[in-house]
Amino acid sequence: MEALGGYPVKYSGPKVKRLTVLLSMTVGIGCLFLLQTQLLKPRKPADFYSFEVKDAKGRTLSLEKFRGKASLVVNVASHSEQTEAAYRSLQELHRELGTSHFNVLAFPCGQFGDTETGTSSYIEAFAKSTYGVTFPFFAKIKIMGSEAEPAFKFLTDSVQKVPKWNFWKFLVNPEGKVVRFWRADEPVESIRQEVAAMVREIILKKRAEL
């Protein structure tokens, strides 16, 4: 085959087709890889109840079991100056409002001096035998720094505050959003009023859905 002017031109039709097919396959494989990467990428939990944590015995537990209830999440300690008063008031609140609509959730933390030095199972046993608590205990965690427990970090990120001592309290609504927090030295009565109001809302909503 000759082009204008008499110069020969090689016919490369099949080569062009093969190159086009190869490029199409490469692009297709690349798109599939990117799609798979996005699908396999772990999703960031959208709320507190979307997390999994360890219980005091080291077993994995989904916080999903508490969805639909109000939760008062507390970083507890066995040997703080506030331990006795805090445990007794928390247990009273837990018993008073009942577990059908509300729970105190205790997360031991050993980042504040020597106020929490035992193992998770010992901490739970000590609190139950000494103060008669019946609310759920979880594994001892860190709440500050790069090793902070993700579920608890969700709480602190939500309010833009990190506990500076033991027994800070975070109120989580039935949808898993943090609506309020209290420092250790704030009166229990204000906590009781707000938690009780949330529990009433949950009960009324459930009755309306019947």
Instruction: Mark whether 190 and 165 lie in a shared domain.
Output: yes
Structure-token pair, residue 110: 């050993």
Is the pLDDT score of 44 beyond 50? yes
Q: Are residues 27 and 120 in the same domain?
A: no
One-character DSSP codes across 136-159: -BB--B--SSTT--HHHHHHHHHH
Is 61:95 a contact under the CB 8 Å cutoff?
no
User: Token match 């079991």: residue?
Assistant: 65
Q: Contact, 195 vs 180, CB < 8 A?
A: no
Does 33 have pLDDT greater than 70? no
Asked if residue 143 lies in contact with residue 109, where contact means CB atoms within 8 angstroms, the answer is yes
24 and 58 in a single domain? The answer is no
And the tokens for 113? Answer: 């001096």
CB 140 within 8 A of CB 152: no
Q: Give the residue numbers spanning the domain of 24.
A: 1-41
Indicate whether 107 and 199 sit together in one domain.
yes
The answer on pLDDT for 104 being more than 90 is yes
Residue owning tokens 């001592």 = 165
Q: How far is CA 79 from the centre of its chain?
A: 26
Residues 13 and 29 in one domain: yes
**29 and 69 co-located in one domain:** no
Q: Are residues 24 and 75 in the same domain?
A: no
Closest CA to 92 of 133, 38, 145: 133
Same structural domain, 88 and 107:
yes
Are residues 169 and 72 part of one domain? yes
pLDDT tier for residue 210 given thresholds of 50, 70 and 90: confident
| Residues 144 and 195 placed together within one structural domain of the fold | yes
Residue 176 sits in a domain whose CATH number is 3.40.30.10
Instruction: Specify whether the backbone of 160 is left (phi greater than 0), alpha (psi in -120 to 50) or beta.
Output: left
Shared-domain flag, residues 22 and 117: no
pLDDT of residue 172: 98
User: Which tokens belong to 23?
Assistant: 């490029």
Domain count, the chain: 2
Residues 154 and 58 in one domain: yes
- The reported pTM is 0.80
